[in-house]
Amino acid sequence: MRKFQVITLFPDMFTGVFGSSMMWKAQNGEHVELSTINLRDFGLGPRRQVDDTPYGGGDGMLLKPEPLFAAVEHAKSLDPSAKVLLMTPRGERWKQETAQAYADTDNGYIFICGRYEGYDERIVSLVDTQLSVGDYVLTGGELPAMTIIDSIVRLIPGVLGGESSAEIESFSDGETLEYPQYTRPEEFRGMKVPDVLLSGHHGEIAKWRQQNSLKSKEDS
């Protein structure tokens, strides 16, 4: 079973995500194990300190190295071969093809979610890959970690219902967006389902879908 461990100061943020819908199904079917590690448990002193002011001055606080090293070492003790992933705006841009590559391996993953103004740079020595979900800044790494975990887990065989469910989706070929889809009723408020989709002619339907798939925004 694949392990996904998330090191965070806010483990409650993951309760609803990990306990609902596809994530719940993936765990219930014993495809993955999803868990959080509270960084505060590894804090220093009676107040469980996890952050401090930056050397050289500057606004905000940085996550200290001691708690993060201890948390990662704890996670590694539970899954020694797991890859350590750091959520950071300066990381490699996450893409569908990357999600597929991660899903195709047998590795577990340990996610480090930063907070405040960042983290002590020495943390990077623990990390296998730095990842970003886009060119913008969030208040922490939790939402990117949720996004990346979701995109990997749904590609693990057996998690989604149909065998081809993930293959026909947007970016599955790295280039195109998914074609438009329709369901009942055939007409709603004057808007009709394209006739070709009602024809039963699978060749024409496939041709229509290919013609109506859009190039990805990065290629347009």
pLDDT tens across 77-106, in order?
A: 999 999 999 999 999 999 999 999 999 999
Question: Average pLDDT in the 61-66 region?
Answer: 97
Percent of the chain with pLDDT strictly greater than 90: 85
- Say if residue 64 is in the same domain as residue 145: yes
Q: Where are the beta strands (DSSP E) in the chain?
A: 2-8, 32-38, 51-52, 62-63, 83-93, 109-113, 129-132, 176-177, 187-188, 191-192, 214-215
The answer on pLDDT for 170 being more than 90 is no
In a domain, 168, yes or no: no
In a domain, 181, yes or no: yes
- Say if residue 22 is in the same domain as residue 55: yes
Question: Average pLDDT in the 60-87 region?
Answer: 97
Question: Average pLDDT in the 126-148 region?
Answer: 96
Question: Average pLDDT in the 65-70 region?
Answer: 98
In a domain, 138, yes or no: yes
Q: Is 57 left (phi over 0), alpha (psi -120 to 50) or beta?
A: left
Domain's final residue, options 101, 120, 153: 153
> What is the tally of structural domains in the chain?
2
- Say if residue 133 is in the same domain as residue 197: no
* pLDDT grade for 178, boundaries at 50, 70 and 90: confident
Question: Average pLDDT in the 107-114 region?
Answer: 97
| Enclosing domain of residue 110 | 2-153
User: Structure pTM?
Assistant: 0.87
What is the C-alpha separation between 27 and 23, in angstroms, rounded?
6
In a domain, 88, yes or no: yes
- Say if residue 147 is in the same domain as residue 183: no
